[in-house]
Copies of this chain bind each other. A is one copy, B any other.
Amino acid sequence: MTETEASPRRRPSMLDVAETAGVSKAAVSKVIRNAYGVSPAMRERVEAAIRELGYRPSIAARSMRGASFTLGFEIPQLANDFFTQVMQGAADELAGSGYQLFVAPAVGDVQGAPVLQALRDRRVDGIVAISPDAAPEWLEQLGVEVPLVLLGRHDPSRSYDTVTSDDAAGARLAMAHLIELGHRDIAHLTVDASPQVPEELLPHTRRLHAYTEAMRQIGAQACVVSGGPLELQARDAAWELLSGPGRPTAVFAANDTLAIGTLRARAELGLNADELSVVGYDNIDLASHPLISLTTVDQRGHETGAIATRLLLDRIRTGRAEAHHEVIAPALRVRGSTRPPEEQQPG
């Protein structure tokens, strides 16, 4: 009486499938890749064996020769609903494509390059990145090695694609709106920029320049406050700006998260929209909430993510090498957070 060998409960490998189906590994490989040159009969038997064994190919092993069927998405900050919106757009576009999306958040001072490296080390088939502080030359090199799309960069890149809002135009929209309402004392709240990257390539510095230019045109004094990217950091920065003397009548915040932080400070200081107008940039979902009602510049995050994904898949599937540069036209969304300035108080 022969003992049935206790099955080691090992994950079935391609060899197991091949043996159960009575064919070669190569045949199994062709079937799972839908490769050319398999008879219907063979396909039938192999698929039956796969089902019977509950076989799943090891992506790790596949990655060594072929594709990993994995796309990496690097984001610099988790607590920013705009990025969530972009990711959602990317994820939706990817549905049913056979690719799995992995989001690699930058955390602490592990920003940009190291995260992109981590993605690359894991042999992802393509990368979408929002890396405001990666140097263009470095990205150019990465783009040669792996299909790459950058969001929110105005780089005239050759090896990677870009998708970005027309930030100068968007910022002009915001400023024109405030100025038309009658504001002249307009402050700008932005985030500290990386020294690694030429100024003109980044959204925040472009918006800043448009702000400065607009102020110059109306002959007003520019006032720029800059700090961290988190809502509470923006609150702190705004608090300082608003509680001091010579408080502005309006704040143009470089993105919606900063704007929400400004609204927090405004409310905490007992001010309302008549006393301080606030404009943001992004049009996150929350901006349309009636309790927030934030005037902002729409840069269609969901669509941005979808476009980026399409560009990436195109690069992967067709091997395209020429860079594409998509620019999203911004649109102003006027809501309750902006009002004409109050009548000047008599001295």
A308 within 8 A of B: no
For the complex, give the distance between the alpha carbons of A122 and B58 in Å. 7
Whether B100 lies near A104 (C-beta < 8 A) is yes
Annotate A100-130 by CB proximity to B: 1 below 8 A, 0 otherwise.
1111110110100001011011110000000
Contact B84 A122 (CB under 8 A): no
Given A289-B260, A291-B292 in contact, is the A92-B107 Cβ separation under 8 Å?
A: yes
One of B57, B64, B231 near A60 (C-beta < 8 A): B64
Q: Interface residues of A, CB < 8 Å — how many?
A: 52
B contact residues around A84 at 8 Å (CB): 78-79, 84
For residue A291, which residues in chain B have a CB less than 8 angstroms away from its CB? Answer: 263-264, 267, 291-292
A181 within 8 A of B: no
A48-91 at interface with B (beta carbon < 8 Å)? 56-61, 63-64, 68, 70, 78-79, 81, 84-85, 87-88, 91
- Please give the residue numbers on chain A whose beta carbons come within 8 Å of chain B beta carbons, in ascending order: 11, 56-61, 63-64, 68, 70, 78-79, 81, 84-85, 87-88, 91-92, 94-95, 100-105, 107-108, 110, 115, 117-118, 120-123, 145, 231-232, 260, 263-264, 267-268, 285-286, 289-292
- List the B side residues contacting A123 at CB < 8 Å: 58-60
Partner of A95 from B56, B91, B108 at Cβ < 8 Å: B108
Interface centre among A94, A122, A123 (most CB of B within 10 A): A122
Are B290 and A264 touching (Cβ within 8 A)? Answer: yes
Contacts of A121 in B (CB 8 A): 56-59
A121 nearest in chain B by CB position: B59
Interchain CA distance A104-B208 in the complex, whole Å: 35
Instruction: With A56-B121, A263-B289 given, name 20 new contacts (CB 8 A).
Output: A60-B63, A61-B64, A78-B84, A78-B87, A79-B81, A79-B84, A79-B285, A87-B105, A91-B105, A94-B107, A95-B107, A95-B108, A95-B110, A100-B104, A100-B115, A263-B291, A264-B290, A267-B289, A268-B290, A286-B286
Interface-centre pick from A85, A107, A286 (highest chain B CB count, 10 A): A107
C-alpha gap A286/B181 in the complex (Å): 29
A122 pairs with B70, CB closer than 8 A: yes
